[in-house]
């Protein structure tokens, strides 16, 4: 049976039949084996497929502006604790200290150089008030005869030996004429018992307010005074004691009934001499139509006396120059005992006699003609020369030795107060400079005959030389004061040091120490004037609008003249002269070039 | 250098005239040694760190071969001296007007 099935399968082509016939295969035949598709081992295969080349692009974008802004969401208090390292320190810290300690010490030692401190000084900073030295107050003086509501102190002066100080008072306001009875109070500093509340040792009452004054260069008790009414008064404190004080005139105030006015009005217009009365003074007639703005003593030698003095038979070598607001300059002589005074010369500052180059205003040239004088400074060692300041900001040099008449003798001079046919002289004005503001104060240097100081009302202080154009030194005192008006400026007893009054502050400058003041003295009230003691260089006095007088001592280092201090002025003068010569040479070269070009 | 020598170095710097204070900060700008009070030390550390970074980057920008070595900052009131290093920086405040 089995053999027949197999033959049948071989003859047929039908695979199905073959399959069916395989079922009936021999069970004893060997089984077929196929390899298993299950993995026997764990294998890894990694394959990479590269399609295209990999490319890397770096691009930067530059923005125009970069700002860092912090965003504050919720306020958080950040408490950071400084975890100060304690020993043992890490070795890196040792290395750090080893490396930097020497460099740091070297840098710290460089700052021990005293000149390095100069870097920290900022002259534009108002902290200059903190860095400037202070003066110590020695005395406060006040006259018990003066009411601060009516009068303020207008002038203060030291006598030449530095022992006596005099203060003059002026009413706060004047309507027209001055009918005030104002004292001139004097204190002898050697007899001071207290630092405050010192009544005056001597007081002399005048029938008018005082606007300027100066002590005699030689006699310590003689004082020349210019008044509001235009008079000159000579006072002698040695003739006045307490018992001579008139009881009716003990208080300052108005009215002249009790006081002699022009006590000995004798002689011609140009005077036969006025004499000191029992009250310790005498007063001339008002030779100045307006108030006397400046008064100066000058010393003459014998030949100068012969030239200038003609009316005084027994003249002293000391004369007085007064300048009035109306534009007149008077030259007075005194006798040797200082009991008489004579008017020797009278000058007028007159627009007609000023060169056409000077840019005077049209009203001055054509209408007013007289030029109001604000200040006058007499030149050291040269009584012929003085320097004037006018209300228009002009500075002129004047020659008081001039004999040229200002105008013909037949022309009448009409003033606000009188018509007179006076012989007025032309002072031979030489234009020096013009300032942008009114030169309130002008003061010649006591150490250099050509150098003078000008204080403009806007706080500018200029040091100039009469013989040179330009300015030697320029200061701005307004920078260091809240007040904007200058009231006074004076040279001190040192060649390079001067004082400026701006509002409630007195500022002391030194030409060698730059633009910042070396000493600033604050006051409670507005200061009107200062005066330096010529003997005690470090002492100065200031008077204020309330009638108080303060005596100050400057720090010791500013109280003596240092060697070669005057050289500063001389060097600056030479430097200015050299600059002028260079400018002239340049101008000559330019002129020569132009001439050659034209040819 | 020992622990005592670190203290001695600090004393040596503080003994100079006018020195107001000394601060040592780490590279993160955190004060690790200071003779001033905490709040002031932290303020100085924060400000000086920023200033040093800015200054260093400025110098590198101008010249890559150059580097910051020392800073002296002069003000109206005093001088701040900074010595920056890799891991630490030292800040010293001196008032030369007192010298």
A403, two tokens: 């004999």
* pLDDT band at A268; cut points 50, 70, 90: very low
Find the angle CA(A267)-CA(A273)-CA(A276) to the nearest 5 degrees: 125
Digit-coded pLDDT (tens) for A201-213: 888 888 888 999 9
User: For residue B34, what pLDDT band results from cuts at 50, 70 and 90?
Assistant: very high
Q: Which band of pLDDT confidence, cut at 50, 70 and 90, is reported for residue A429?
A: confident
Which of A88, A94, A108 is nearest residue B19 as measured by Cβ atoms? Answer: A108
Q: Which chain B residue lies closest to A125 (C-alpha atoms)? A: B76
How near does any CA of chain B get to the CA of A390, in Å? 44
Chain B nearest-CA distance from A252, in A, is: 52
The pLDDT tens digits for A555-577 are: 888 888 887 777 777 777 777 66
Residue A98: its chain B contacts at CB < 8 A? 1
Q: Tell me, what's the pLDDT at A81?
A: 52
Q: Residue B42: which of A82, A93, A104 has the nearest Cβ?
A: A82
Q: Which residues of A362-398 are buried (b: 16+ CB within 10 A; e: fewer)?
A: eebeeeebbbbbbbbbbbbebbbbbbbbbebbbbbbb
Asked if residues A541 and A158 have their Cβ atoms less than 8 Å apart, the reply is yes
Mutate to test the interface with A, among B16, B36, B68, B91 (most CBs of A within 10 A): B16
- Residue A413 clears pLDDT 80, i.e. is over it: no
CB atoms within 10 A of CB B45: 24
The b/e string for A323-333 (b: 16+ C-beta within 10 A; e otherwise) is bbbbbbbbbbb
pLDDT tens for A513-528 read 888 889 999 888 889 9
User: Would you call A107 an interface residue with chain B, using a CB distance cutoff of 8 Å?
Assistant: yes
From the CB of residue B54, how many other CB atoms can be counted at a distance below 10 Å?
Answer: 10
**pTM, rounded to two decimals:** 0.62
The yes-or-no verdict on residue A466 having pLDDT over 90 is: no
DSSP-derived 3-state class of residue A247 = helix
Q: What is the pLDDT of residue A77?
A: 52
Query: Can you give the pLDDT at residue A76?
Result: 55
Report pLDDT for A39: 67
Q: Using the beta-carbon criterion (under 8 Å), do B88 and A92 form an inter-chain contact?
A: yes
Q: Is the pLDDT of residue A168 over 70?
A: yes
The CA dihedral of A286, A289, A291, A297, to the nearest 10 degrees, is -60
pLDDT above 70 for B12: yes
Sign of CA dihedral A150, A153, A155, A161: positive
Check residue B45 and give its pLDDT: 94
Tell me what the mean pLDDT of segment A532-537 comes to: 88
Q: Determine, for residues A82 and B38 on separate chains, whether the beta-carbon distance falls below 8 Å.
A: yes
Q: Which residue has the higher pLDDT, A1 or A445?
A: A445
- The residue among B83 and A412 whose pLDDT is bigger is B83
Beta-strand ranges (E) seen in chain B are: 19-26, 31-34, 71-74, 79-84, 88-94
CA of B28, closest CA in chain A: separation in Å? Answer: 13
For the segment A335-378, what is each residue's pLDDT rounded down to a tens digit?
877 777 888 888 888 777 777 777 777 666 666 667 778 889 98
Query: Which residue does chain B place closest to A95, by CA atoms?
Result: B1
Mean pLDDT for A451-479 is: 86
Query: Which residues neighbour A141 within 8 Å (Cβ) at sequence distance 6 or greater?
Result: A165, A167, A185, A187, A198, A200, A548, A549, A550, A551
**Region A118-124: what's the mean pLDDT?**
46
Contact (CB, 8 A) for A129 and A480:
yes
Give tens-digit pLDDT for A48-102.
776 777 777 777 776 667 677 777 666 555 555 555 777 788 888 888 998 899 8
Q: What's residue A236's pLDDT?
A: 85
Q: Tokens 């000149």: give the residue.
A: A115
Under the banding of pLDDT at 50, 70 and 90, the label for residue A261 is very low
CB contact under 8 A, A100 and B41: no
> Which has the closest alpha carbon to A452: A440, A464, A461, A441?
A464
Whether residues B6 and A93 touch (CB distance < 8 A) is answered with yes
Contact B3 A108 (CB under 8 A): no
- From the list B17, B18, B72, which residue is nearest A107 (CB)? B72
DSSP A135: P
**Integer Cα distance of A503 and A114 in angstroms:** 34
User: CA A421 to CA A424: how far, in whole Å?
Assistant: 9
Cis peptide before A329, with omega less than 30 degrees from 0?
no
Which has the higher per-residue pLDDT, A497 or A3? A497
Name which of A182-186, A452-456, A506-510, B66-70 the model is least confident about. Answer: A182-186
The minimal CB distance from A89 to the residues B6, B41, B79 is found for B6
Which of A123, A128, A126, A210 lies closest to A166, judged by CA?
Answer: A210
Higher pLDDT, B88 or A48: B88
Phi, psi of A583, rounded to the nearest 5 degrees: -65, -40
Choose, out of B8, B83, B86, B89, the residue to mutate when testing the contact with A (most A CBs < 10 Å).
B83
Q: Cα–Cα distance between A6 and A22 in angstroms, integer?
A: 9
Closest residue by Cα to residue B52 from B20, B27, B21, B77 = B27
């Amino acid at each position: 049976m089995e053999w027949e099935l197999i033959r049948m399968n071989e003859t047929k082509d039908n695979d199905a039949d073959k399959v069916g016939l395989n079922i009936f295969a021999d069970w004893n035949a060997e089984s077929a084996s196929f390899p298993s598709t299950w993995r026997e081992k764990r294998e890894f295969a990694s394959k990479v497929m590269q399609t295209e080349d990999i490319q890397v692009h770096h691009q930067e974008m530059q923005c125009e502006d970069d700002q860092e802004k912090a965003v504050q969401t919720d306020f958080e208090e950040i408490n950071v604790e400084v975890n100060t390292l304690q020993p043992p320190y890490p070795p890196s810290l040792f290395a750090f200290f080893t490396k930097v300690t020497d460099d740091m010490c070297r840098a710290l030692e460089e700052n021990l150089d005293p000149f390095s401190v100069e870097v920290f000084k900022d002259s534009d900073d108002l902290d200059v008030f903190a860095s400037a030295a202070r003066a110590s107050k020695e005395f406060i003086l006040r006259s018990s005869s003066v009411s601060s509501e009516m009068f303020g102190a207008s002038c203060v002066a030291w006598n030449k030996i530095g022992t006596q100080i005099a203060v003059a008072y002026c009413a706060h306001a004047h309507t027209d004429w001055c009918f005030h009875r104002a004292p001139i109070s004097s204190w002898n500093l050697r007899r001071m018992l207290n630092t405050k509340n010192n009544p005056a040792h001597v007081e002399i009452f005048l029938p008018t307010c005082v606007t300027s004054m100066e002590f005699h260069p030689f006699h310590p008790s003689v004082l020349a005074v210019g008044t509001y009414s235009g008079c000159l008064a000579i006072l002698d404190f040695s003739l006045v004691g307490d018992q001579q004080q008139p009881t009716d005139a003990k208080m300052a105030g108005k009215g002249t009934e009790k006081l002699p006015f022009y006590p000995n009005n004798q002689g011609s217009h140009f005077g036969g001499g006025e004499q000191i009365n029992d009250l310790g003074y005498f007063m001339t007639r008002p030779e100045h139509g307006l108030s006397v703005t400046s008064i100066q003593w000058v010393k003459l030698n014998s030949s100068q006396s012969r030239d200038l003095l003609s009316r005084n038979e027994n003249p002293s070598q000391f004369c007085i120059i007064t300048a009035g607001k109306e534009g007149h300059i008077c030259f007075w002589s005194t006798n040797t005992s200082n009991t008489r005074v004579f008017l020797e010369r009278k000058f007028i500052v007159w627009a007609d006699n000023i060169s056409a180059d000077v840019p005077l205003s049209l009203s001055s040239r054509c209408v007013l003609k007289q030029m109001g004088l604000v200040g006058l400074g007499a030149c050291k060692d040269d009584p012929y020369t003085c320097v004037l300041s006018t209300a228009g900001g002009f500075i002129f040099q004047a020659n008081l030795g001039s004999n040229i008449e200002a105008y013909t003798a037949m022309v009448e001079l009409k003033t606000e107060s009188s018509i007179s046919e006076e012989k007025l002289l032309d002072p031979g004005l030489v234009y020096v400079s013009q300032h942008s503001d009114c030169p309130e104060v002008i003061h010649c240097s006591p150490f250099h005959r050509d150098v003078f100081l000008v204080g403009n009302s806007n706080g500018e202080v200029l040091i100039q030389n009469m013989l040179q154009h330009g300015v030697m030194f320029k200061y701005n005192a307004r920078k260091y004061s809240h007040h904007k008006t200058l009231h006074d400026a004076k040279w001190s007893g040192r060649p390079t040091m001067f004082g400026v009054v701006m509002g409630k502050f007195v500022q002391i400058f030194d030409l060698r120490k730059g633009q910042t003041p070396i000493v600033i003295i604050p006051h409670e009230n507005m200061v009107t004037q200062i005066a330096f003691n010529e003997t005690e260089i470090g002492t100065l006095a200031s008077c204020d609008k309330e009638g108080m007088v303060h005596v100050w001592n400057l720090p010791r280092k500013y109280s003596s003249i240092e060697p070669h201090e005057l050289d500063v002025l001389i060097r600056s003068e030479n430097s200015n002269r050299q600059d002028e010569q260079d400018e002239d040479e340049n101008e000559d070269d330019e002129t020569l070039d132009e001439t050659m070009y034209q040819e | 250098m020992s622990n005592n020598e670190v203290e001695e170095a600090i004393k040596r710097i503080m003994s100079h005239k006018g020195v107001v204070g000394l601060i040592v900060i780490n590279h993160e700008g955190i004060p690790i040694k200071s003779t001033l009070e905490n709040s002031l030390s932290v303020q100085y550390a924060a400000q000086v760190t920023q200033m040093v970074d800015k200054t260093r980057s400025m110098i590198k920008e101008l010249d890559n071969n150059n580097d910051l070595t020392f800073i002296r900052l002069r003000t109206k009131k005093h001088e701040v001296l900074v010595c920056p290093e890799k891991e630490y920086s030292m800040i010293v405040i001196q008032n030369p007007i007192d010298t």
